[in-house]
Amino acid sequence: MTWTDPDCPVARAADLIGDRWSLLVIRDAMDGAGSFTDFQQRTGIARNILSDRLRKLVTGGVLVQVDAPSGRRKRYALSDAGRDLFAVIVTLRQWGERHAFGDDEPHSTLLDREGRPLPRVLPVDVDGAAVGVDSTRVQKV
C-alpha cells in the first residue's frame, strides 16, 4: 500500500479506514454484523464497493474471515486491531451526536450494559488530566 503521508499515524489510519463505507462496515461489525449480506443490507452499499472495502479491511488487519457455523461461507469478525477501533467509533459517534444533529432531532444512542448512555470520551495525560488541541503537540520524525 502507498501511504499518503508515511510518517503520520493519522494519515495511515485514514488511508485504511477513513472512508465512509469502511467506517460503517466497522460500526456494523461492532454491532454484530458478520456476513456480506448483513453489511450490504445494513449499509445499502453497492456489492462491488462492499467487496472492495471488506478485502481492504481484511488485508489491513481490521477484520478477519472466520468459518460460518454452517461451514458453507465465511463470515467477517473484528480482529484485535478492529476491536481497538471501539474508542474511535464511540468518539466519532459522540461528535456526531453533538454536531451533526439538531437539538430536537432523534438519533440512535450507544448504551452500556446497564442501559445508560456512555460518558463523553476525552483524552487524558499520564496524570489523568484532560488534554486537547491547545495542550498537546506532535513530535515529527
| pLDDT at site 108 | 94
Average pLDDT over residues 75-88: 97
Distance in angstroms (rounded) separating the CA atoms of residues 5 and 7: 6
- Banded pLDDT at 4 (limits 50, 70, 90): confident
Q: What is the CATH number that goes with domain 9-79?
A: 1.10.10.10
- Banded pLDDT at 71 (limits 50, 70, 90): confident
Query: Domain spans of the chain?
Result: 9-79
Evaluate if residue 5 carries a pLDDT over 90: no
Q: What's the alpha-carbon Rg for the chain, to the nearest Å?
A: 17
Tell me the per-residue pLDDT of 42-64, one tens digit each, with 9 for 90 and over.
Answer: 999 999 999 999 999 999 999 99
Evaluate if residue 85 carries a pLDDT over 80: yes
Over the chain, what is the mean pLDDT? 94
| pLDDT at site 78 | 98
List b or e across 45-69, with b for residues whose CB sees 16 or more CB atoms inside 10 angstroms: beeeebeebbebbbebebbbeeeee
C-beta separation of 53 from 21 below 8 A: yes
Question: Would you list the DSSP string of 97-112?
Answer: HHHSS-TT------B-
